A and B are shown apart, each in its own frame.
Chain A
């Protein structure tokens, strides 16, 4: 019944015809991606306030890091608490190259990814021997070792006083001053930085998308699902984890370099355990294992406190002045509500915001397809 296939395209009778829904899927995904890119590219021209543009830029930069964590946690199933340490490696690499060595943007940014990716791959052989919570604890140690190094290696890190970050200079203009053509400001600081962060995020998104669909991505997910079975089907489990660690750390390094470059100045204090925890929260809230989930999580996490701050002015019992003793202040309430929202998301949709948004879309689609038939 099966005949040898003469050309790869020839469909043997053994294979049932691909359903039209399955064929439509890639096209629909492409439309979705194009819409996303167009929308994101239009944001700086929609009259968004500087405050919200700033939040958005932080979210774009964080999304680069969440995609990195998605590779190791979502795809490969390894909990890493060391994300902050790898972000710091990227940040210091870029700052040293960009300031001391006066290298341009297009050198220090890839270098940040390479060096932190290398650091991740170096640590990985230790990490791949342990699993689950033990791995979480081992990666935790990275953050503390890092904190010590950043505090003491003052010639590079500036010690606790901090140091200047690498500037993003394009055509001789530091983008932190916006982009000028003669005396006319073409792009404000926020508009210019939005595009820088968006461009990096899009590149990282494409990379992650390709990893997920590749042989390597399948190997990662097989290791995540059942690592013993993965070995038995021929997947080199250790090597797959090492590569995943390397890629994850490289993205973390990119994110760290961009973050500090955008802030202009940074101190060792920000590479704390909380930063790692924030990233894990973003990935879990957004949805483990999905690219859109990682991005949603980053935006949610960065925007939520600001949303609550903004809401606070309409809620009567909240004091606007943080210095007043007693009473609920906006930042305090923001923390409470923020925690509440996380708990609610996890209770009602453990697969995260991605799945939450996906539900109505899937329901609509199912109904429409049922109607067509």
Chain B
């Protein structure tokens, strides 16, 4: 049996005493695949991401049940930095680059857990940068002065610096122009082709389902649908709720 890149099993999340954000959510990312997580605002997508990356405590939430495994290792109680060491990396929603550090320093920070020697750091950086040629001329620029698209590239590039086996992408197309969304999409495909498994959370369902092999739909804190992306694309509910009626801004035509 092949080990899953990421396994979320029976996860329930609560903020404070009352509000339950997720109940009994199970989700799997097989190795080498792109899995996308869809859902309306407030469905719990971000909570699920936090449960995976270990950021729940920082937001006053807690995992009341379930487990998270990265490459078969249980990381449920681990700190965010420990999970990165296990092979998990995340590009947070809203990009969250370090604004006062240069692009080069942001990337270097992304390799923190790997203790790269100078030559290795250079090599990994080049491998990451060939996905983002536009960053190469911006290396000495402060990240805070980059455009939204460039910051998104940097956020993904920074995550890739730890050479993760699983990459979490939280709304990578948010607030970007359609043309840039297309670039981001191509980059995600490229990264996946080189062997990184990806969990993609997206408002832009058309874009997400066009590149994913598998999809989950989260509503009201529960998984209400899951299946191969092709099936979801054809599902009448999904079409009317996420794809059909109003084309999402920056939607990418189906391929």
Identify the A interface with B (CB < 8 A). 1-2, 4-5, 7-8, 12, 14-16, 22, 215, 218-219, 221-222, 224-226, 228-237, 289
Contacts and interface: CB of A to CB of B under 8 A. Distances in A.
B92 A228 contact: yes
Given A225-B101, A233-B159, A215 B112 contact: yes
A14 B134 CA distance: 12
Contacts of A289: 100
Interface string B108-142: 11101101001100110011011000001100100
Nearest to A19: B140
A5 B117 CA distance: 14
A225 to B, nearest CB: 4
Given A233-B159, A234-B84, A235-B112, A218 B79 contact: no
Contact of B109 (A2, A4, A16, A222): A222
Contact of A15 (B55, B110, B126): B126
Given A221-B98, A232-B53, A233-B112, A14 B140 contact: no
The winner among B54, B101, B129, B162 for most chain A CB atoms within 10 A is B101
B152 interface: no
A89 B235 CA distance: 69
Interface string B143-187: 000000000000000110110000000000000000000000000
A232 B80 contact: yes
B130 A226 contact: no
Contacts of B126: 2, 5, 12, 14-15
| Closest 8 pairs between A and B when the two form their complex, measured CB to CB | A234-B84, A8-B119, A234-B113, A231-B80, A225-B98, A229-B96, A236-B81, A222-B109
Contact of A226 (B80, B98, B159): B98
B109 A235 contact: yes
> Looking at chain B's contact residues, is the secondary structure mostly helix, strand, loop, or mixed?
helix
Contacts of A231: 54-55, 58, 79-81
B90 interface: yes
A234 B81 contact: yes
A128 to B, nearest CB: 12
A165 B103 CA distance: 48
Contacts of A221: 98, 100-101, 105
23 contacts: A2-B127, A5-B122, A14-B126, A16-B137, A215-B115, A218-B112, A221-B98, A221-B100, A225-B98, A226-B96, A226-B99, A228-B55, A228-B92, A228-B96, A229-B96, A231-B81, A232-B96, A233-B109, A234-B85, A234-B110, A234-B113, A236-B79, A237-B80
Contacts of B140: 22
A230 B123 contact: no
